[in-house]
Chains A and B, each alone.
Chain A
Amino acid sequence: MNAHLQPTGSVYFLAPETQTPERHTLSVLVDNEPGILARIAGLFSARGFNIESLTVSETEHEKGLSRITLVTVATPKVLLQIKLQLERLVPVHKVHDLTAEGRALERELALVKVAGTGEPRAEALRLADAYRAQIVDATTESFVFEITGKPSKIDSFIAIMVPLGMVEVVRTGLAAIGRGAEGM
């Protein structure tokens, strides 16, 4: 009935968005403590930020530090907010926008299960070789390939495996690191 009066947001005035969203990879150094992932995920959901991919694991055991690699799509203004809001969290040590800093190495690992016999199976094996994918499990009617690379490479590998009998795929999400001698 009042469809035209449906609220468009909770803010006082919504200025039209003029900036275009960009995909950025952030590297976040955090204390490896219970609830840290919930803090980060909660921050993103509470403030309406996007998470495209998120990977986390302890990286420096003695110091109790974990590195989170997070891919988000946002306008430059929101990207700055994401970085600053992350830095406000008490257990967050550092936040680096690897995309803005440029030339970061980005890798992802995928396990791809392909089932089939005969020509499609042979074709899958040939293509896997061309993509430098490893066979990590094999039966007479299936393979599990392990492939590492840029997300675009994995996307294309998956795309060609679909018609060759791909059963399922699992991806780790992006891990990224800056080039050169400097650390984070």
Chain B
Amino acid sequence: MAQQMTGAEMVIQALTDQGVTDIFGYPGGAVLPMYDVIFQQDKVRHILVRHEQGATHMAEGYARSTGKVGVVLVTSGPGATNAVTGLTDALMDSIPMVCITGQVATPLIGSDAFQECDTVGITRSCTKHNYLVKNVNDLSRVLHEAFYIARSGRPGPVLIDIPKDVQFALGTYYGPAEIETTRHKSYHPQTEGDARLIEAAVDLMLRSERPVFYTGGGVVNSGPEASESLRELAELTGFPVTSTLMGLGAFPGSSKQWLGMLGMHGSYEANMAMHDCDLMINIGARFDDRITGRIDAFSPGSRKIHVDIDPSSINKNVRIDLPIIGDCGQVLKEMVRVWRSKTNESRAEALAPWWKEIASWRKRNSFGFQQTGSVIKPQFAIQRLYEAVKGRQDVYVTTEVGQHQMWAAQHFPFEMPNHWMTSGGLGTMGYGLPAAIGVQVAHPDALVIDIAGEASVQMTMQEMSTAVQYELPVKIFILNNERMGMVRQWQELLHGGRYSHSYSESLPDFVKLAEAYGGHGIKCDDAADLDAAIKEMLDSPKPVLFDCLVEKHENCLPMIPSGKPHNEMILPDFKGDVGEVIDAKGRELV
């Protein structure tokens, strides 16, 4: 039923019609008409952030933990440019997001007006798609189309730039049912995998003796059913499973078939299995450089199956023997069905030698560390945190970027998808705190923890104010080594220990800082006090900044050094000079 209303009213109406209940934003001159509409309704809750980047990461956390589209509303000019980092982050990690920006009135566009910027020009390469709406009668179509594009196919951020005069203008609003966005004239993502290719894939799987499932964020994006199908397929086949950073949680960390994360800081067994396998089954991952290491020595003896909804991911970095374009969930479900139709027998015997080999790699205990004395090892801190919340169903973890992120991925196993939020592709420091707030908005009663570093967390620290305002009791667990730990580690490995600007001087007193914001501050620097301090954090009804002072020079291991293949990892028990492992050629590569 078409209705007459203003452009600003259409935006809020469309959000309501799309089932949006929470949005993250910051007002400004070019979005005032929309804020006026928000003021006069109570269906859409607006969370006022402290910086537009925070709004984008909150929307990412919200989206990743619910499977819904995250929504951001910001003003023109600086509002839009501040959102660019989060848009790029969402694009790299395939997070569904709709970002609405205000723009100066259409007659002023191009005149260098106050708070004008070329928003669609700036965001063209960091969104899945973007729009500048110059006619109010296009607005409802664009709004519904944006939601459809953001969540379908390979999800991603979509931006809609709305000039102020269009927000004031009267026009005709059409609801989602009248627009039929799924019959878009040019955008038709392929979701169903080719049945013959799926059957061929199962045939390869039935014949393989050293197989491995390499799963990624696509399984999480595909929804909880995809994770269910993955678990079912893994159980049927008896194959080992490893995952990228983005895919953690899709397969339970407690399973015997779980090898741990793979890649640069992944487990020895996962990387060795990838290197020595005869069949690699990639489900929704994209052969990122942090995963493959040296491309020409990547898994030399395997056939490779790649399931991805984005055709451009296939054969981009690694040559694929059997590509299947489609939605991970649908393809996994089909694989289960086809497998069942072909055999009832367990392949345990055929796979026994492979599992024996994997067991020998596991014995290397590549995530091992030794906690001795009172100085807290960062890995130990994460382990104690995990032990304190183990078994709870409502635990969500976000991270910042750096060593702490890798340690969290190594030492905090997940049983369910959508419970782990991290910036994988872009590696955005400052992601975790606002992402945690976004998760807490979606899950008010859950326990949301940001495993942070003291350097990263300061990039978006001001969002503590948002957490306090909306009584969102996020727990910011800061592994404080007074260093940009990963930078420091690379300088040790690659630059002769010349620690150029990689230490944090003049750090704030995080306890006082938490109190200044109206939150709760905790400091712990003794391993013996850690459990009690973690309990204090979990018991607090407020947002908490937990300043956990840890060993300052701990390196994040294991590690595949630059320019090396998977089977040449540096393990924690390595005794030589790590600086010698990487040659001049490797140093040239990031």
A residues whose Cβ falls under 8 Å from a Cβ of B: 4-16, 30-31, 34-35, 38-39, 42-43, 46, 77, 80-81, 84-85, 87-93
Contact = CB atoms under 8 A, between A and B. Distances in A.
Nearest to B560: A12
A151 to B, nearest CB: 29
A84 B315 CA distance: 11
B295 A15 contact: yes
B533 interface: no
Given A4-B584, A8-B589, A12-B289, A90 B296 contact: no
19 contacts: A5-B584, A6-B588, A7-B588, A9-B589, A12-B289, A12-B562, A12-B589, A13-B292, A13-B294, A13-B295, A13-B589, A15-B295, A30-B186, A35-B120, A42-B125, A87-B311, A87-B312, A90-B186, A91-B186
Contact of B293 (A12, A16, A39, A88): A12
Nearest to B129: A90
A12 B185 contact: no
B125 A93 contact: no
Contact of B587 (A5, A11, A46, A88): A5
Given A12-B289, A31-B185, A88 B294 contact: no
Contacts of B185: 31, 93
Contacts of A9: 589
Given A12-B589, A38-B124, A84 B312 contact: yes
B207 interface: no
B470 interface: no
B39 interface: no
Contacts of A87: 311-312
B338 interface: no
B563 interface: yes
A2 to B, nearest CB: 10
A13 B289 contact: yes
A90 B128 contact: yes
B369 interface: no
Interface in B269-296: 289-290, 292-296
Contacts of B1: none
Contacts of A5: 584, 587-588
A70 to B, nearest CB: 17
A13 B588 contact: no
Given A4-B584, A90-B128, A13 B186 contact: no
Interface string B121-136: 1001100110010000
B144 to A, nearest CB: 14
A31 B129 CA distance: 13
Contacts of A89: 129
B187 A90 contact: yes
B590 A7 contact: yes
A5 B129 CA distance: 38
A30 B185 CA distance: 10
Cβ-closest 4 pairs across A and B: A12-B289, A84-B312, A90-B129, A93-B186
Nearest to B312: A84
Contact of A13 (B121, B129, B312, B563): B563
Contacts of A81: 312, 315-316
B149 interface: yes
Contacts of A7: 588-590
Contacts of B128: 90
B310 interface: yes
Contact of A35 (B124, B186, B296, B587): B124
A32 B121 CA distance: 17
Contacts of B186: 30-31, 90-93
Nearest to A6: B588
B125 A46 contact: yes
A13 B296 contact: yes
Contact of A39 (B124, B187, B588): B124
Contacts of A14: 589
B121 A38 contact: yes
A91 to B, nearest CB: 6
Contacts of A13: 289, 292-296, 562-563, 589
Given A81-B312, A84-B311, A84-B314, 20 more contacts: A7-B590, A8-B589, A9-B589, A10-B590, A12-B295, A16-B296, A30-B186, A35-B120, A39-B124, A42-B125, A46-B125, A80-B315, A81-B316, A85-B312, A88-B310, A89-B129, A90-B129, A90-B187, A92-B186, A93-B186
Interface in B88-125: 120-121, 124-125
A68 B315 CA distance: 25
B294 A8 contact: no
Contacts of A10: 590
A34 B110 CA distance: 14
Contacts of A88: 310, 312
B289 A11 contact: yes
A8 B588 contact: yes
B425 to A, nearest CB: 13
A9 B124 CA distance: 23
Q: Which of A43, A46, A84 counts the most chain B CB atoms within 10 A?
A: A84
Interface in B290-347: 290, 292-296, 310-312, 314-316
Contact of B315 (A8, A42, A77): A77
B69 to A, nearest CB: 16
A48 B459 CA distance: 31
Contacts of B121: 35, 38
B150 to A, nearest CB: 11
